[in-house]
Structure formats: structure tokens, C-alpha cells
Chain A
């Protein structure tokens, strides 16, 4: 393809205080091309697409769209020019229905009834079934993404931007999405596909531009390039894969049985009859698409939500009715998904954040009075042992990068020597080298005999660290399977909620036979 590019980005630079998000970035997208923008968290991908979509303005450089100068001052202009975007964190409104959500993203929405009809037409044409009258708050993550995609498609875009679209999908849903995107590309729509997942890019994209620290560090044709080559370009060095010597599972330490919890808000997920047996030295991976009860499960294990005593037992002692601090004393420690606001208080210093969970096991308070000296020493130890990059323990949590704060949060728990550690999305939004460190720390902890539950939406991560695997779907937990026997397809079925896993096992056996 050597014709006029649809979109040409030339020497774009954008700086924020303290960081240059994009430095002299240039690349072209041809009509009908699926173009990958590849890079780690913090490489500057989001800033770049925000400029294309008119949410942020570049400091310097220019863009050309279909031969004309293009500098959208706001998203409305971008949309009317033919640029549409599906956001990573969806730009949806839970209390509004699907049709209203779609109308909000259109310049001149037709009356609700006509709109509902068009939504049905488009959703059928592209194999994305959707009911226009349902509240978005009641939809699954995959369905929410469909709302965003249909909102874009109704605008008839020339360029569709997709920001990390598969992070919330099951493997089967990813296939459906790719099918839709290929169909769109065949019809002449260009797609700018942002991701850090290499295999996906190799399966879908025609061209790729690789960003690192805000600069273009390479361009390639993904089908002809190995994942390892792209990874090296993206990360800038090769990373050691986390590993452990051997996994000998000990006795059952934590047992959850018949755990059911009603949600605390109208759009929450109820937990239904969860059963878990966690052994000493085991890493149990719990996979699932966002919004299937991960937060609720962590809360029930951490003690933020209490249940009947017998539903959770530690070394056969019932603890279901015990709160977070009592469970900490017994050795159950947790690292929630949301770093800022849940695992850590954003505006408090790292010293104060060390006190947040380490008071009991590290004896940081004496008859109610805080021992700030000991607390500071502990914060400094976490910073040193886990290589947290910060000027010092007096800096507030939100001043740290995602990776560094996550290392602090995980380190704070691990250095307390837990019997059981439960973490949710331990490497979400974390750069590759910090992610590798965190995974290695989890494996080391299990090696020392602790039981670890890793809840994650990143299947690659779970396959890498866990001995056993279970899937969480609509608040139900599948049976536990040994990780090394799993195929992506089986995982997909488990995540999709093939409810009776015994039947599934048999089918799998038949299929293999």
C-alpha cells in the first residue's frame, strides 16, 4: 500500500511536568489497515491517541488526515472528521441504558426509537448482540465494550481507535472481536490497535509502531516478526521469566466452603457458593473477566466483608466472622486491586501507609499510641528490600509510579511473613520489569511455604505463576484444575462460565480422544 495515508502523524511532541509523554513521534496509517501501537505501560500510547481524538493537544508536530491538516480541538471535531475511539476504561454511564449511552457519543442522535432500531441492525450485522433498553450497569464487561464499539460504528468512522480492548475479554470474546475488526478493515475502515499483548498483535495487525518512553523505537510487520523480537524492542532489555525450584504442596491451610455474599451496591456481583482449598506452598490462580466478583472475593477473604464463621477456615479454625485486623494477626494478608484508595491512602506518606496493614504483625502501636519510629523503619525496609523508587518514605503514595507503589504494597504484605497472601491484579498497569519482580516475589513466598491466591485478569500471568487454576464467573468459582494441563480453549470455556465443569471435563477428554 503506497497510496495516500489515511492518517499521518509527524514529529508529535507532548510534555507534562516531569515527563515527556511523546517525543518526536511519527507514523502513518493506511486506509483499511490494522495498525498496532505497541508499548509498555507508561510508554506514551494513551497520550498519543488522546491527541488523535482531540482530548489533548500536542506541544509541537502536526497531523494530516486524508491529505488535510488535522488538529482537533475537541473530540466532537475528531468524531465529525471520522475518528472514533473505544476507551480502555469505558466511557460509559452505568445508570443510563444502552441507547442513551450510544446517543451521548453521537453528534446528531436520531430519536430513541429509531436509534434502538439501528443499534439492533448494526449489532446483528457485526455479530455483537445487544439490547438497547438494558441498563449499562447490568452488563458484563464484554457487553459494555460492545456498547462502545457500536457507538463508534454508528458514526461510520474512517479510523477506529481501540485502547487495550482485550484486557477485559475472555479468549472466545477476543475471537469475536477480532472477527468484527477484520470485517471492518475489509470494508475499508482503518484501525489503530493499542496493546502490549504481542500474540494478539501478531494475529490481527498489518503494521506495528513500537513506543518506548515516549519515543518510536521501531516499526515492524507483526506477522513476520517474532514475539521475542517485539518484546525486546518494547521493553528495551530481555527480562528473566519468574521461576521457582519446585512446587511441593503441603497440607490445606485455608479452606473456603459455601461462601455466598450479597453485593453492597446495586451493580455489584453476588458471590455464590465459593469453595477453595489452598495448600501450603501453593499458588492458586483465579482468572476471570472484570466484574465477575473479584473485588467481592478479596473482600470476603480479607475480612472487609464478614460471613458465617465456618465459611472460611484457617488451619481448621473458623474465621469467617473475623475482621481484617484479626485475620492479619492470624496470618492472612491481602493486596487489593485498587492501589490508590484501597491498598494505600493516596495523600498519606509511605510511613503512614506502612501502618495501614502492618500494625499487628510488626507491633507498630503500643496501647493505642503509634510507634512512628518503628513504622518508619518498616517503611524503609520495604522500600529497600523491594527496590521501590522514591526519594524517601515521607513522600505521599500518589507521587509514586504505578509499578513502584505496587512493589511497596506487595512488599508491605510479604515482609510481614504471611501464612496466606491474597492479591488481586498484582501487576495491573505496572511496567514489565516491576511486574517480573512482583511475580518472582510471589513465587519466592510460596517456595517458603505460604499459600498464595493470585486473582488476575491476565491469563498469561496466571499461567506463569500458578500451580492450580480456577475461573470466577458471575460470582461462581469453577473447579480447580492443574495449570500445566490447561489449554487456552479450556480456560476460555471456564471463564465464559461453562457452569458444569464436570461435563466440560468429559467433553474435553472426548475431544482429545
Chain B
């Protein structure tokens, strides 16, 4: 019989070790899944986790992709983690990401064909504002009417997707695009382009922003009163009120920051790697970032590492699709599994597991 005993304090060693253990378990379970699909599991795991970085012919293309994909994941996950720590569950980052991209692109395209150097900074601000505004809907409904922010933020993703469709075929459609849906290609317009800053690294402004966000979140959580209040509100809401924390202000703040960061991620994506507003330019970073946030233990440095790892599974997944014909959704299932295993082994950091025979009297 298995029994759980609560530890007097969370184990620091296990807190750091559980993500690694979860990754190992996911590799095993994922390997079984690949075997069931009729693929060589060892080869599949190698292609996903090793080849993108070290394969002689693919690595040159794949390595820069690591930062390209990790950038938005980290940027979004940092914002989400602040909220999750405070007990504010924004799970609609995908919608905020879309709205940020649309707002930023609209700002830029409104000035087309101006070549003012102020356009790109303006787009960045508009992107952040777009994501922020979208996140304010659940935030205000939560603070004013105590409506569940989980459901509202999630439902708004679907609304944002419909809005994206209408933007791509409607007001943002490229007038010179011979009727095809999708906006002008922002990455080909100098004043709106989010370029690769250092050739061959994949580093663009979004990645820079992600690193800044990691550092800022680290300082906030460890040195600043606000970070302390965020942690307090999440762990002991009543104690937080006793300490003078205004829960509504915290909800608006956490939602706003995560929305703005998601909006930024959307803007940097649409003006760089994705290039244009199209019906399906969003690839689910807003949802995968939830996994990244948890895998990184809601800790900025952890999120940085988790974002890179998750980016690796994206790239490795594409490679596996190419080389082994492993279907693309297998990677999504693989990522979901990772979160399961993480949650399952998490128990080790707060509880001690004892094996005990039943019925000893």
C-alpha cells in the first residue's frame, strides 16, 4: 500500500529534479507511442532531441529555429507564470497573442507605405496594447462580476480566431494579393520587419524581449515587494489581504502583464517568422506556453530552459515528420504527456511516498 506523507517543507532537491524525471518518463512513454505507430522509438527520440542540434546536415537550419520557437514560448510563459503564481488563471494567451498580432499589424499597415523608423516601435506598442486589452476583458469581468477567468479567457480564444479570420479576409487583406486571404507580408516591408539580428542565430527582437522578460521576472519575484505579494496571494489569499494586498489590483496586473507579453509575442511573430496575418498564422504557442510555464516550475530560469526544450520538441517533431513520417499531432500528444508526467512526479516534492503493508495492527 502506497501512502503519502506531507513533507514539513517542500523538498528543494525534488523540486529541481522532477522536471528532469518528467522528461525522461515522457521519452519512455513517447517511445512506446512511436513504437505503436510502427516507428523505431530510439531513432524517433534521437531525431527529436538530438538531431536538431547536432545532425551534420540539419543542425545548420534547426539551431536558429530553436530561438525562433523558444522566444514566443518563453515570452508568453513568463507572463502566465506570474498569474499562475498569484492564482490568476489566464489560459487564453492564444487569443491575446492573436489580438496583439492583429493590433500591431494594423498599426503598421495603416501607415503603409511610410518608411518612418517610428513605425516598428509603434507596432510593438500597439501589439502589447492589443494583447493587454484582450486580457482586460476576463480581468474586469473577474473583478467586477467574479466571473471565472479560466472560462472567459479561453472562450475569447475562439472569438479571437474568428476575428483573425475576418481580418485576414477582410480589413487587413493585401489589396495586391489577387484576392488571396492574408495581409501584406510585413517581413518584406523594411519599416515593419522584425529581422534576424545576428545572422544564423535566429535571434530577433522577440527573443531579445523574452530574455529581458526572464530577467525582469526574476528580479520582480525575488527582490521586489510586488513579486512577494504575487506569491503570497497565490499561496494564502487571506494572508495576502491581511498584508494589504488588493486582490483585484493583482488580478488586473497579472492578467494585463500576461496579455501584453502574449500580444508582444504575437506581434514579433507576425512581423518576423510568420511574416503576415493569415487565417492560421498562430500555431498554438499560447497553449504550449502553459506547459512551458509549469515545466519551468513557474520560475523564470526554469521557464527559459523549459521554453528551449519545448522549442526543441517542435523542431524535432518537424524533423521526425520529415524523416520518419511521424504524424505532426504526435508531437502535440507528446507535449501533453510531458505535462502529465510533470504533474504526476510533482507529488515527490511536497509529499514523501511510503510503502506500507495494509492491515498491520
A–B proximity contact (CB within 8 A): yes
Closest to A63 in B: B361
Q: Give min CB distance, A45 to chain B, whole Å.
A: 21
Check: B360 CB closer than 8 A to any chain A CB.
Answer: yes
Q: In the complex, which of the residues A323, A325, A342 has the most CB atoms of chain B within 10 Å of its own CB atom?
A: A342
| Residue of A304, A345, A396 touching B232 (CB-CB under 8 A) | A345
The answer to whether B232 touches A369 (Cβ under 8 A) is no
Check: A33 CB closer than 8 A to any chain B CB.
Answer: no
CB under 8 Å from chain A, chain B span 214-241: 223-226, 228, 231-232, 235-236, 238-241
Find chain A residues with CB under 8 A from B236 CB.
Answer: 341-342, 344-348
The answer to whether A368 touches B235 (Cβ under 8 A) is no
The answer to whether B244 touches A58 (Cβ under 8 A) is no
| Residue of A345, A359, A369 touching B239 (CB-CB under 8 A) | A345
Bound Cα distance A277, B7 (Å):
46
Check: B280 CB closer than 8 A to any chain A CB.
Answer: no
| Residue of A60, A328, A369 touching B225 (CB-CB under 8 A) | A369
Stretch from A146-154, A244-252, A349-357 contacting the other chain: A349-357
The answer to whether B228 touches A344 (Cβ under 8 A) is no
Check: A324 CB closer than 8 A to any chain B CB.
Answer: yes
Check: A385 CB closer than 8 A to any chain B CB.
Answer: no
Find chain B residues with CB under 8 A from A324 CB.
Answer: 241-244
The answer to whether B232 touches A348 (Cβ under 8 A) is yes
The answer to whether A352 touches B228 (Cβ under 8 A) is yes
The answer to whether A336 touches B225 (Cβ under 8 A) is no
Find chain A residues with CB under 8 A from B228 CB.
Answer: 352, 355, 370
The answer to whether B225 touches A368 (Cβ under 8 A) is yes
The answer to whether A341 touches B238 (Cβ under 8 A) is yes
CB under 8 Å from chain B, chain A span 83-110: none
Check: B43 CB closer than 8 A to any chain A CB.
Answer: no
| Residue of B9, B225, B231 touching A395 (CB-CB under 8 A) | B9
Find chain A residues with CB under 8 A from B239 CB.
Answer: 341-345, 356
Find chain B residues with CB under 8 A from A334 CB.
Answer: 242
| Residue of A352, A359, A370 touching B223 (CB-CB under 8 A) | A370
Q: Give min CB distance, A297 to chain B, whole Å.
A: 14
Check: B5 CB closer than 8 A to any chain A CB.
Answer: yes
Q: Using known A-B contacts A345-B232, A345-B235, A369-B224, determine if residue A356 contacts B8 with beta carbons closer than 8 Å.
A: no
* Interface size class, chain B: 20 to 34
The answer to whether B224 touches A370 (Cβ under 8 A) is yes
Bound Cα distance A350, B229 (Å):
15
The answer to whether A369 touches B223 (Cβ under 8 A) is yes
Bound Cα distance A341, B223 (Å):
23
Find chain A residues with CB under 8 A from B242 CB.
Answer: 302, 304, 324, 334, 336, 342-343, 356-357
Find chain B residues with CB under 8 A from A365 CB.
Answer: 225
- Hey, what's the 0/1 contact readout for A96-131 against B, CB within 8 Å counting as 1? 000000000000000000000000000000000000
Check: A59 CB closer than 8 A to any chain B CB.
Answer: yes
Check: A363 CB closer than 8 A to any chain B CB.
Answer: no
| Residue of B8, B10, B232, B244 touching A325 (CB-CB under 8 A) | B244
Find chain B residues with CB under 8 A from A352 CB.
Answer: 228, 232
The answer to whether A357 touches B243 (Cβ under 8 A) is yes
Find chain B residues with CB under 8 A from A344 CB.
Answer: 236, 239
The answer to whether B232 touches A399 (Cβ under 8 A) is no
Find chain B residues with CB under 8 A from A272 CB.
Answer: none
The answer to whether A58 touches B361 (Cβ under 8 A) is yes
Find chain B residues with CB under 8 A from A57 CB.
Answer: 360-361
Find chain B residues with CB under 8 A from A175 CB.
Answer: none
Find chain B residues with CB under 8 A from A345 CB.
Answer: 232, 235-236, 239-240
Closest to B233 in A: A345
Find chain B residues with CB under 8 A from A374 CB.
Answer: none
Q: In the complex, which of the residues B244, B246, B361 has the most CB atoms of chain A within 10 Å of its own CB atom?
A: B244
| Residue of A304, A347, A372 touching B241 (CB-CB under 8 A) | A304
Bound Cα distance A182, B10 (Å):
48
Find chain A residues with CB under 8 A from B244 CB.
Answer: 303, 323-325, 328
Bound Cα distance A346, B9 (Å):
10
Bound Cα distance A345, B361 (Å):
37
Q: Give min CB distance, A219 to chain B, whole Å.
A: 25
Check: A262 CB closer than 8 A to any chain B CB.
Answer: no
Q: Give min CB distance, B254 to chain A, whole Å.
A: 17
The answer to whether B223 touches A347 (Cβ under 8 A) is no
Find chain A residues with CB under 8 A from B360 CB.
Answer: 57, 59
Closest to A357 in B: B243
The answer to whether B8 touches A348 (Cβ under 8 A) is no
Bound Cα distance A372, B239 (Å):
19
Q: Using known A-B contacts A323-B244, A343-B242, A370-B223, determine if residue A396 contacts B9 with beta carbons closer than 8 Å.
A: yes
Bound Cα distance A342, B360 (Å):
39
Find chain B residues with CB under 8 A from A302 CB.
Answer: 242
Check: A398 CB closer than 8 A to any chain B CB.
Answer: yes
Check: A71 CB closer than 8 A to any chain B CB.
Answer: yes
Q: In the complex, which of the residues B225, B240, B246 has the most CB atoms of chain A within 10 Å of its own CB atom?
A: B225
Check: A338 CB closer than 8 A to any chain B CB.
Answer: yes
Find chain B residues with CB under 8 A from A357 CB.
Answer: 242-243
Bound Cα distance A54, B234 (Å):
36
Bound Cα distance A93, B58 (Å):
63
Closest to B237 in A: A341
Q: Give min CB distance, B3 to chain A, whole Å.
A: 11
- Hey, what's the 0/1 contact readout for A356-396 against B, CB within 8 Å counting as 1? 11010000010011101000000000000000000000011
Bound Cα distance A343, B10 (Å):
20
Check: A17 CB closer than 8 A to any chain B CB.
Answer: yes
Find chain A residues with CB under 8 A from B240 CB.
Answer: 345
Q: In the complex, which of the residues A345, A357, A368 has the most CB atoms of chain B within 10 Å of its own CB atom?
A: A345
The answer to whether A346 touches B235 (Cβ under 8 A) is yes
Additional 18 contacts, C-beta under 8 A, given A324-B243, A343-B242, A368-B226? A17-B352, A57-B361, A60-B361, A62-B361, A303-B244, A323-B244, A334-B242, A341-B236, A345-B235, A346-B236, A347-B236, A348-B231, A348-B235, A352-B232, A356-B239, A368-B225, A370-B223, A395-B9
The 8 A-B pairs with the shortest beta carbon distances in the complex, nearest first, are A325-B244, A399-B8, A345-B236, A324-B244, A342-B238, A396-B9, A345-B239, A356-B243
Task: Give A residues with C-beta under 8 Å from B.
Answer: 17, 57-60, 62, 71, 302-304, 323-325, 328, 334, 336, 338, 341-348, 352, 355-357, 359, 365, 368-370, 372, 395-396, 398-399
18 contacts between A and B (CB under 8 A): A57-B361, A58-B361, A71-B361, A303-B244, A338-B238, A342-B236, A343-B239, A345-B236, A346-B235, A346-B236, A347-B9, A347-B235, A348-B232, A355-B228, A356-B243, A357-B243, A368-B226, A399-B9
Task: Give B residues with C-beta under 8 Å from A.
Answer: 5, 8-10, 223-226, 228, 231-232, 235-236, 238-244, 246, 352, 360-361
